Amino acid sequence: MKKLLLFLTLLVSGVSFSQEDIKKDTLKTVKVQANNKGLKKSIYGTTNTTLVTSKELLKAACCNLAESFETNPSIDVNFSDALTGTKQIKMLGLTSPYIMITEENIPSVRGASQAYGLSFTPGTWIDNIQITKGAGSVVNGYESISGQINTELIKPCDDIPFFLNFYGSTDSRYELNTHFNKKISNKWATSLFVHGNARVQKNDMNDDMFLDNPLGKQINIANRWHYSNSETGWVSFINFRYMNDEKQTGEIDFDPNRDRLTTNFWGSEINTERFDFSSKIGYVFKDMPYQSIGFQNAFSNHNQQSYFGLNQYDIKQQSYYSNLIFSSIINNTKHKFTTGLNFTYDKYSEFVNLSDVSRIDNSVGAFFEYTYDDSDKFSYILGGRFDYHNRLGAFFTPRVHVKYNPWEKAVFRFSAGRGKRAANIFAENQQLFASSRVFSVLNTDGKIYGLNPEIAWNYGLSFTQNFIFLGKKADVTIDFYRTDFQNQAVVDVMNSPQQVLFYDLKGKSFANSLQFDFNLELVKHLNLRTAYKYYDIATDYLSGTFQRPLQAKHRVFGNIEYETHISDHGQQWRFDATVNWMGKQLLPTTATNPIEERLPEFSPSFTTMNMQVTLQQSSTLEFYFGVENLGNYRQLNAIIGEHNPFGNYFDTSIIYAPVFGQMFYGGLRFKIK
């Protein structure tokens, strides 16, 4: 019974497993719970996937999805600009538009939501995050280039009756999360998630007369329903969500009621309203337990009204997505396949300084994925999909993943695949609106803002070895991935500090990523996690070949965690510290600016440290206290031309380090089980 329920849940989430897989994963789950690890990497899975558990998310102030990767070396986290406090993530050195970001295997952060969408999923809603490096599965679409991030929310069937979380910080950010869960019957369960946050105080730690973080507020409500019937083989999820987010930033003295779209004071407002509905239904054939069918549907309405100084940007996206998935075996469970059909519709109503660049995109596709799995030794996945898109045309997307276990506790992995996408150049680069740069699209013959679709191949090799070092558990992983662009929508900030140019790639563009991980249990309950990352990312621009701006070639990551034994009264202390060293970064050119408005060619290297202490008072109550950027490192010259924000040299987008500096926070979590 339990195995069937687990299988049904995985099926509707868009994942297909055999009963042998379920048995193996169930045993592994028991083992992992005993080890109580926050990050899990299996040496048996075919893809290079890291599972980020809820335990890991509690190690930092994960107020939303964008802030859930601070303790994970696979993802790089940076600020996108000096004003909005928005965190940008990168995988294999490429920004989030090249990552397929899904929620329960339905595409979520895409199109209009690329800039701020990661902040629209509260951290307390997340059950786990699956991070897959390299080409993703063809079941999920054709857009994945550098990898996939899939977020699984807390399921109504697994949730506790009540959860309360309160958070406050010295940058005047306050959050409240409440979860209500009710098991209506042995087949039905429902959850209500309510999230609210606000920042109410103006902060200017670097005395440039601009807010370091935006004022704002957000209300976010989700209602989830889960139906499961093990007797008939049916399972389904139904989800409703409403979100309203308001941000205000700019000069300290800016008053939107008085100064909006004037030159009195420079200011910006970004107001977003979003509604989401999704449903999943799955069925496992009772006489053929290895055969199943699932159907996913999702609708979203995203409406952003915004301005940045005198630049206006409004975008509304209405999307519909459906995916029909059928899974079965060929003769035996060593040979499995998944096939299906998928349809996507996107209507963009987009205005850039009152210029109408609206469009409608739609695509229909078919996919097939074959998996060979010879137990714990050798497996591979061969996938392909054919799609027809009204702007990208007809195209084929191949993907391959290979896994080989040469000896005990070791695994080699290889992956290769092709990705194709339409670049939403304005939505994805909104930080550049907060500058005096003139936007220019140099191409006119393409079907997406005059540009052609982006096409890239990704190849990767990975090796992992688990072993015993001085009597303690340890593991080492080496990854190398390369992305080659056949075409790219180049965002050129290297030609002039007064311009941003968009054009199709003429020449080469590539991204090489090398990562070395070493993890060690120092003593019982004391664990060390380290990583070194090297990036070689270059593009041919009009003015020459340059390394990717605002991308460090060298990064070093370290995390140490310690937890005490749980007392008879349920009390436990947990301590976490994360250190990031960032090498120098090439900065966008400011060479033609006056001397006082110039930046150096490269940024300095710097180090940041985050720490958190958690006191679990009992099984129902815990308190946490932490600090971000303990060393108080700040980029002092975060804004160019701040004394004349309506002049020719104003730019808030050249950000390589924190702006706010040291920030303390605290909170509590209360549960009724």
What does the pLDDT read at residue 287?
81
Pairing of strands 378-389, 393-404: antiparallel
Can you list the positions of beta strands (E) in 493-552? Answer: 499-504, 509-523, 526-541, 544-547
What does the pLDDT read at residue 36?
58
How far apart are alpha carbons 349 and 316 in whole angstroms?
5
How far apart are alpha carbons 517 and 265 in whole angstroms?
48
Residue 313 has pLDDT above 50, yes or no: yes
Tens-digit pLDDT profile for residues 207-243: 889 999 999 999 999 999 999 998 888 999 999 999 9
Lowest mean pLDDT among 7-11, 530-534, 537-541: 7-11
Amino acid at 514: L
| 128 CB burial (10 A radius; 0-12, 13-18, 19+) | middle
Can you list the positions of beta strands (E) in 566-654? Answer: 572-582, 606-616, 621-628
Pairing of strands 359-374, 267-284: unpaired
| 331 CB burial (10 A radius; 0-12, 13-18, 19+) | exposed
pLDDT category of residue 270 using cuts at 50, 70 and 90: very high
Q: What share of the chain is helix, strand, coil (3-state, %, to 5)?
A: 10, 55, 35
Whether this prediction's pTM lies above 0.85 is answered by yes
Nearest to 224 by CA among 276, 273, 185: 276
Helix (H) or strand (E) holding 601: none
More reliable by pLDDT, 86 or 547: 547
Nearest to 424 by CA among 500, 361, 506, 505: 361
* Residue 246 burial (CB count, 10 A): 17
Residue 529 has pLDDT above 50, yes or no: yes
Tens-digit pLDDT profile for residues 443-463: 889 999 999 999 999 999 999
Using alpha carbons only, what angle is made at residue 655 by residues 651 and 659, rounded to the nearest 5 degrees? 105
Q: Are 109 and 100 in contact (CB under 8 A)?
A: no
